[in-house]
Each structure stands twice: as C-alpha cells, then as structure tokens.
Structure 1
C-alpha cells in the first residue's frame, strides 16, 4: 500500500494510492488530520487496512509534497565515494557525514514543476532516497536503526548551485528556494531491510540517465545516519532524512548541465516508484 498527500477540487486530502485513483482516508481517521499525524502515531498499517475494498474517491487530483507539514528535514551531503571524488580536492573519505537542513517550503510534489528563480539559473537535480522516522529515539544503535523507520519515499533535492557558495561554512541558501525540489510521490511502508540495502537509484533528465548507483555503496549507510544524527538530537516521528545522492549531478559536467524550462527529471527506485517533475521559470 502507498499513501500520498494530494489536492482535489481545491481541498487537501491524504489517502491510499491505487491504479484507478486515490482513496481518501482522512474522514475515516479524524484523529489524524494529516498524513504526518498518522506517521507520528505509527499507524500506517491501520490506514492500509481501512483502504482495503474501498472505492476510489478522487480520479482527478494533484500530488503534493508527501508530508507538506514535516517540521524537520535533514540532508546528508556527499555520501557516495564517486561523489566525494567529484570535488577534485584530493580529500579522502570523511570521518563524519556532512549534514544540512531543508524546509518543507522548498519542496513540491510528483508531476509538479520545480521552479527556477530569476535571481539565478543554476538549478540542479539530486536524486535521493528519503526515510521517514516512525519511532523516535536518542542515541539509537545501528542494530536498532531500521526499527525506527516508518516509510520510504523519493527526493529530488533541487539546488541553486551558485547560492551554496555565498558563505564559507554552509549551503542553506542554495538548498531552500521555494519549490526548487520535490519529495514523493508517496510513502511506501518500510517492512524489509532489502528495501534499502538492495536499492538502486536512477536519475534521468529528458530520458538520459545521469545518476545510477546502489545504496549499499554509500559511505554512510542509513543505519549509520540514524545512529549519528540521533546522537546529537532526539529523532521524532515524522522527521525526514534525505540520505545522499550519487555522482552525476548537472554541476559536475563540463560544461555544467543545469535544468531549464521544459526539462523533465525522473528519479526511480524499484519498490518505491518514480518521482517525476518538469521545470518552469518563476513568474514574478
């Protein structure tokens, strides 16, 4: 079962995704006004059972960022060995992972356009797997880490490259332009370690494969990410960790291949799905 946040006829809903359309679920769970509330209650299984045998309620809809009210989103940077080599600074694998925050306002949903701002046209793509925490905790061990994951989804961690260079010690400015990235299309409940350990992530731009790698090659696997992050902060249900992107982002080509209006970016992981977005210029 897959769960999404979506809009239909001007109203926001969440529900189960089927081939025929959406099955709205929020009326059956008044205690969970949003999908985030259901995640925080660790109750996705109940949502799935409630959707069984139900009729489709919406055939015409638009996907939203899957958890548009997610309060905390942490991203792991430079997490594949080839990605580290892309920087051409001669550095060895780092001892600790790079982390930075993103905010929900920077993301849109599946089949929605990413927005290129007029201030700068270096909009780039980064295909990643995102995990959603279902059980909170502090100082979580790697052995227990997967027990804290509620669901998986996909992320295009869109970046305005020139703006990550505006300061010496952070990338926050380039990572948080409104609607510059996407998360979705849906949440897939996490039930088996193979969903992560065996995952292959592929990013295509206009049908051309740009990124292709397996999560097992990450320098800091998901278990380590959860262990490390929960050392300095208490993870809470609904937190999102965006786990890292492979080599092949547009900035690393010569000349760079930045995104422009009309481009289509697809991020695919078998067992999770395909996240697809076009590109448009911001209207100001």
Structure 2
C-alpha cells in the first residue's frame, strides 16, 4: 500500500493509492489533518488498517508534495564516491557528512512542474531516496537505525546552482527556491532492510539516463546518517532525511546540462516508484 497527499475538486486529502485510484482517509483520522500529523502522532501503521476494504473515492486527482507541512527536512550532500570526485578538489572521503536544511515550500508533487525562477536559470536535478522517521530517538545506534524509519519516498532535490555559491559556508539559498524540487509520489511503508540496502536509484531527463547508482555505495549509509544526525538532535516522527544523490547532475557536464522548460525528469527506485516532473518558468 502507498499513501499520498492529493487534491480533487479544490479540496486536499490524504490517503491510500491503489491501481484503481485514491482512497481518502481524512474521515478516519478526525484529529489529524495531514499525513505528517498522522506520522507525528505515531499512527502511520493505522493508515493501512483504515484503508483495508474501502472503495476508491477519487479517480481524478492531482498529487501534492507528499508531506507539505513537514517541519524538518535535512539533506545529506556529496554522499557518493563519484560525487566527491566531481568537485575536482583532490579531497578524499570526508570524515563527517555534509548537511543542510530544506523547507517544504521548496518542493512540489509528482506530475507537477519544477519552477525555474527568472533570477537565475541554473536549475539542476538530483535524484535521491528520502526516509521518513516514525519513531523518536536520540543517539541512535546504527544497529537500531532502521527501527526508526516509518516510510520511504523519492526526491528530486532541485537546486539553483549559481545560488549555492553566494556564500562561503552554506548552500541554503540555492536549495530553497519555491517549488524547485519535488518529493513523492507517495510514502511506501518501510518493512525490510533490502528496500534500502539493495536499492538502485536512476534519474532520466527526457528519457536519457543521467544518474544510476546503488545505495550500498554511499559514503555515509543511511544507518550512519540516522546515527550521526540523532547525535546532535532528537529525531522526531515526521522528520525527513534526504539521503544523497549519485553522480550525473547537470552541473557536472561540460558544458552543463541545466533544466529548461519542457524537460521531463524521472527519479526511479524499484519498490518505491517513479517521481516525474516537468519544468516551467515562473509566471509573474
């Protein structure tokens, strides 16, 4: 079963996604107005029970960013060996991972356009797996890290490249343009370590394979990410960790292959799905 946030006839719903359509579950959770609130309350497992046996409520709907009210989104940067080499600075694998925040307003949903702003046209793609925390924890050991994951989803961590160079010590301003990235289409419950340990992530742009790697090659595996992040902050249900992108982003081509209006970007992981977005220029 998969769970998403979607709109239909001007209203927003959360619920289950089936081959036949969507099953709105809002009425089953009167005290929660969103997927984020359900997860934050520790009730994610109840979604599956609530959806069992229910008929489809919507066949005509549009996906939204899967958790548009997510409060904390942390991204891991430069997390594949080839990505580190792309920087051509002669550095070896770093001892500690690079982290930066993103905000929910910077993301849109599946089958919706990424927005290229008028201020700068270096919009780039980064296909990644994202995990959603389901159980709170501080100083979580790697051996127990997966016990804290509720669900998996996909991310196109869209970036305005020129703006990540505006300051010496951060990339925040290049990473948070409104609707420059996407998260979705849905949440897949996390049930088995193989969902991550054996996962292959691919990104296609206009049908051309640009990124292709396996998560087991990460310099900082997801177990380590959870361990490290939970050392300095208590991870809470509903927190999102975007785990790192392989080599092959547009900025690393010569000349760069930045996204332009009309492009189609697809991020895929077997067992999770495919996140698809077009590209449009921001309208006045």
- Identify the TM-score tier after normalising by the shorter chain: over 0.9
Please list, as runs of the form range in 1=range in 2, the aligned pairs for 1:74-223 lying within 5 A after superposition. 74-223=74-223
Determine the C-alpha separation between the residues in 1 that align with 2:219 and 2:225.
10
Residue 267 of structure 1 corresponds to 267
Gaps of 5+ in 1: none
String of CA shifts for 1:101-141, please: whole Å, max 9, x gaps: 00000000000000000000000000000000000111111
Bigger Cα displacement from structure 2, 23-32 vs 168-177: 23-32
Determine the C-alpha separation between the residues in 2 that align with 1:29 and 1:231.
33
Determine the C-alpha separation between the residues in 2 that align with 1:264 and 1:34.
29
Give TM-score scaled by structure 1 length.
Answer: 0.99
Residue 247 of structure 2 corresponds to 247
Determine the C-alpha separation between the residues in 2 that align with 1:42 and 1:246.
32
Size of the aligned set, in residue pairs, is 284
How far is the alpha carbon of 1:270 from its aligned partner?
Answer: 0.3
What is the Cα-based RMSD across aligned positions, in Å?
A: 0.6
Determine the C-alpha separation between the residues in 2 that align with 1:253 and 1:29.
48
Residue 12 of structure 1 corresponds to 12
Gaps of 5+ in 2: none
Runs of 4+ off more than 6 Å: none
Determine the C-alpha separation between the residues in 2 that align with 1:95 and 1:104.
29
Give TM-score scaled by structure 2 length.
Answer: 0.99
String of CA shifts for 1:230-274, please: whole Å, max 9, x gaps: 001111110000000000000000000000000000000000000
